[in-house]
């Protein structure tokens, strides 16, 4: 059973019983109708990718949305795919996990429902794979230049893909046992099936990119060797330091970072091992209200938790745009994400509790409960609102505070800025010539779509740097020959 509206989703009471993707595909007639709705727009904003009030307004990849929507409307799926791939290396990822800032800027959303751009995007690329239109396309020649990409998340893969298209030989280093970074281990399988990730990795490998797994550059692979063997290096290691907080009994057993929980669950699914952190038969509290927190909610529910609550220190957002959040800004409104929808369907109540602050963890050696207090919109404690919640598992999903400075970054002679990330110039190059950075490691925690955009920009910066170095070398050679 699936929903009757777009996007097409499997019924919550059905999908919580497995780890398969909850996405479905709409009928072609429905998708073509949505593509036709796009033609009712006078001046599109969906493709702009501007930052307004700290959030993306429109697509950061500047996808040619109205163009491929019209082609879908006309039934020209191959043409739509060609246009989609001009700006987006991995629409099968963004079509599944992107929050769709393009839809938040859709003109039709001013008076009604926005065009279901993300749904169409996913249908285009999935059809491309199904029809055999997407095949390996290695470059026709090689430049003789070698580039190392450190990290195989969306920024690293996009950067590698673009550099490889230009004929450079690219080696991607990944410290984990599988390629994909957060695409593989940070996003649950029901949101992004790992076979989808592996399919793209296999395609990139067939196009000539070399992948090196289980290698922590700076530890397993010396930095001196890296700088000697490669003409340029791109850091795409992400912003992996999770946000923590000082609260009484923080070190009790049973309190874990969200990414450790999600990673362990995916490893269990892929390898058939036991989960190192399990929610089964436990009272679970998720602290943090973002996408990672939602993923923890959905995962804990599938693991068979006894009870499930999600704390958010902020007040509940309004149901419609506030006056200080006008279109085409990203709408900061109350949403029911897939995990919340599932808890409501199975347990009868939304798991989220707003305007609440954790004051201490309770227990001796192991966690038994959590004490909270309500707070105002200015985060002032509300007297007399202390509560005790039973909990044997707490998952900290409060975001990330920046990159890991120890190891590779410090060995390269780089330092992090006040935001905890690697500073770069307009071409994504760091203070060390020939060393670039892309994605969360230089932007901070952000969306997959931004990571892809940053990876593409870094690739352009690397290509320009290598071209300039080649010209300098030829000029030097010409001078030496004339002497």
CATH of the domain at 112: 1.10.1060.10
As a whole number of angstroms, the distance between CA 126 and CA 130 comes to 6
Whether residue 255 is found in the same domain as residue 299: yes
Give the distance, in angstroms, between the CA of residue 323 and the centroid of all CA atoms in the same chain.
Answer: 29
Note whether residue 137 is domain-resident: no
Residue 6 domain-assigned?
Answer: no
The Cα–Cα gap between 354 and 397 comes to: 15
Q: Which residues contact 256 (CB under 8 A, 6 or more apart)?
A: 277, 393, 394, 395, 396
| Same structural domain, 383 and 438 | no
CA 268, 269, 270: angle at the middle one, nearest 5? Answer: 95
What count of other Cβ atoms lies within 10 Å of the Cβ of residue 108? 15
Q: Are 265 and 377 part of one and the same domain?
A: yes
Q: Of 398, 431, 461, which one is at a domain's C-terminal end?
A: 398
pLDDT tens by residue, 83-118: 999 999 999 999 999 999 999 999 999 989 999 999
From 398, 425, 453, the end of a domain falls on 398
Asked if residue 86 lies in contact with residue 64, where contact means CB atoms within 8 angstroms, the answer is: yes
- Does 168 reside within a domain? yes
pLDDT band of residue 55 (cuts 50, 70, 90) is confident
Does some domain include residue 10? no
The beta-strand segments (E) located in 53-164 are 55-57, 146-150
pLDDT at 480: 46
Whether residue 185 is found in the same domain as residue 289: no
Q: In this prediction, what percent of the chain has a pLDDT beyond 70?
A: 96
Task: Give the CATH number of the domain where residue 318 resides.
Answer: 3.50.50.60
pLDDT digits (tens, 9 = 90+) for 231-250: 999 999 999 899 999 999 99
Residue 438, Ramachandran bin (φ over 0: left; ψ between -120 and 50: alpha; else beta): beta
Same domain, 93 and 116: yes
**Residue 244 exposure: Cα atoms within 13 Å on the Cβ side:** 11
For 31-47, the pLDDT digits (tens) are 999 999 998 898 999 99
Q: Which of 130, 163, 182 is the last residue of a domain?
A: 130
- Tokens at residue 292, please? 């990672």
Q: Taking a C-beta distance cutoff of 8 angstroms, is the pair 247, 387 a contact?
A: no
| Residue 135, domain member (yes or no) | no
Asked if 390 and 310 sit in the same domain, the reply is yes
Report the pLDDT value the prediction gives residue 470, as an integer from 0 to 100: 65
Shared-domain flag, residues 337 and 251 = yes
Using CA of residue 456, residue 457, residue 459, residue 460, what is the dihedral sign? positive
pLDDT at residue 345 in the model: 97
State the pLDDT at residue 58: 94
Q: How many angstroms separate the CA atoms of 61 and 288, rounded? A: 28
Whose tokens are 């931004």? That residue is 450
Least Cα distance to 397 among 283, 258, 301, 254 occurs for 258
Is the CA virtual torsion 319, 323, 327, 331 positive or negative? negative
Phi, psi for 127 (deg, rounded to 5): -70, -35
Is residue 389 domain-resident? yes
pLDDT at 418 over 50: yes
On whether the CB atoms of residues 310 and 351 are closer than 8 A, the answer is yes
pLDDT greater than 80 at residue 20: yes
pLDDT for 473 equals 47
Tell me: do 155 and 84 sit in the same domain. no
Strands ordered across the beta sheet of 435-437: 210-212, 169-173, 146-150, 232-235, 435-437
Number of domains in the chain: 3
Chain segment 365-385, per-residue pLDDT in tens: 899 999 999 999 999 999 999
Residue 483, pLDDT > 70, answer no
Are 263 and 372 found together in one domain?
A: yes
**Contact 370/391 with Cβ under 8 angstroms?**
yes
Rounded CA gap, 310 and 13, in Å? Answer: 20
Residue with tokens 């958010």: 312
pLDDT exceeds 90 at position 316:
yes
Residue with the larger pLDDT of the pair 55 and 187: 187
Residue 35 has φ and ψ, to the nearest 5°, of -60, -35
Same domain, 235 and 300: no
Q: What is the DSSP string of 258-273?
A: HHHHHHHHHHHHHH-P
How far is residue 68's CA from residue 120's CA, in Å, rounded to a whole number? 9
pLDDT range class, residue 471, cuts 50, 70, 90? low
Strands, E assignment, 334-433: 352-354, 356-364, 366-374, 387-390, 393-396, 400-402
Rounded distance, CA 126 to CA 72, Å? 13
Residue 7 lies in a domain: no
Direct distance between the N- and C-terminal alpha carbons of the chain, in angstroms, rounded to an integer: 79
- 231 and 314 both lie in a single domain: no
Domain presence at residue 309: yes
Quote the domain boundaries for residue 110: 22-130
Chain segment 250-298, per-residue pLDDT in tens: 999 999 999 999 999 999 999 998 878 999 999 999 999 999 999 999 9
Same domain for 98 and 124?
A: yes
Q: Which residue has the higher pLDDT, 473 or 425?
A: 425
**Tokens at 316, concatenated:** 């509940």
Please state, rounded to an integer, the average pLDDT across all residues of the chain: 94
Q: Work out the pLDDT band at 435, boundaries 50, 70, 90.
A: very high
Which range is least confidently modeled, 42-56, 115-129, 315-329? 42-56
For the segment 125-184, what is each residue's pLDDT rounded down to a tens digit?
999 999 999 999 999 999 999 999 999 999 999 999 999 999 999 999 999 999 999 999
Edge-to-edge strands of the sheet including 255-257?
A: 255-257, 393-396, 283-287, 307-312, 352-354
Distance in angstroms (rounded) separating the CA atoms of residues 131 and 136: 14
């Amino acid at each position: 059973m699936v929903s009757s509206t777009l996007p097409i989703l499997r019924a919550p009471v059905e999908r919580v019983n497995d780890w398969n993707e909850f996405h479905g595909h709409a009928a072609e007639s429905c998708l073509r109708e949505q593509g036709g709705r796009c033609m009712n727009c006078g001046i599109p904003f969906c493709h702009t990718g501007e930052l307004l009030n700290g959030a993306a307004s429109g697509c950061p990849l500047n996808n040619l949305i109205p163009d491929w929507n019209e082609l879908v409307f006309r039934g020209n799926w191959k043409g739509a795919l060609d246009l989609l791939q001009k700006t987006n290396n991995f629409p099968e990822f963004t079509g599944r996990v992107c929050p769709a800032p393009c839809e938040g800027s859709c003109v039709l959303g001013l008076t009604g429902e926005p065009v279901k751009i993300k749904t169409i995007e996913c249908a285009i690329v999935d059809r491309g794979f199904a029809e055999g239109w997407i095949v390996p396309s290695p470059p026709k020649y090689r430049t003789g230049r070698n580039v190392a990409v450190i990290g195989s998340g969306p920024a690293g893969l996009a950067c590698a893909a673009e550099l490889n298209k230009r004929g450079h030989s690219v080696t991607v280093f990944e410290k984990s046992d599988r390629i994909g970074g957060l695409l593989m281990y940070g996003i649950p399988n029901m949101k992004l099936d790992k076979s989808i990730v592996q399919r793209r990795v296999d395609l990139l490998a067939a196009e000539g990119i070399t992948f090196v797994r289980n290698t922590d550059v700076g530890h397993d692979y010396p930095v001196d060797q890296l700088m000697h063997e490669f003409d340029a290096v791109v850091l795409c290691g992400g912003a992996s330091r999770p946000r923590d907080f000082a609260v009484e009994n923080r070190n009790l057993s049973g309190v874990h970072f969200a990414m450790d929980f999600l990673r362990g669950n995916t490893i269990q699914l892929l390898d058939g091992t036991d989960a190192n952190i399990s929610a089964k038969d436990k009272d679970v509290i998720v602290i943090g209200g973002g996408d990672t927190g939602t993923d923890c909610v959905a995962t804990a529910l599938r693991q068979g938790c006894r009870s499930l609550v999600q704390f958010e220190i902020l007040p509940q957002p309004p149901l419609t745009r506030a006056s200080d959040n006008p279109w085409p800004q990203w709408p900061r409104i109350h949403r029911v994400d897939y995990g919340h929808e599932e808890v409501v369907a199975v347990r009868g109540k939304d798991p989220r509790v707003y305007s609440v602050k954790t004051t201490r963890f309770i227990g001796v050696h192991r966690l038994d409960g959590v004490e909270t207090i309500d707070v105002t919109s200015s985060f002032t404690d509300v007297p007399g609102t202390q509560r005790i919640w039973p909990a044997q598992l707490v998952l900290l999903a409060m975001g990330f505070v920046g990159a890991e400075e120890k190891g590779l970054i410090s060995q390269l002679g780089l330092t992090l800025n006040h935001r905890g990330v690697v500073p770069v110039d307009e071409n994504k190059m760091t203070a060390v010539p020939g060393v670039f950075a892309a994605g969360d490691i230089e932007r901070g925690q952000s969306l997959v779509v931004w990571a892809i955009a940053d990876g593409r920009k870094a690739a352009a910066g690397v290509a320009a740097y290598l071209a300039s170095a080649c010209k300098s070398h030829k000029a030097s050679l010409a001078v030496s020959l004339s002497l």
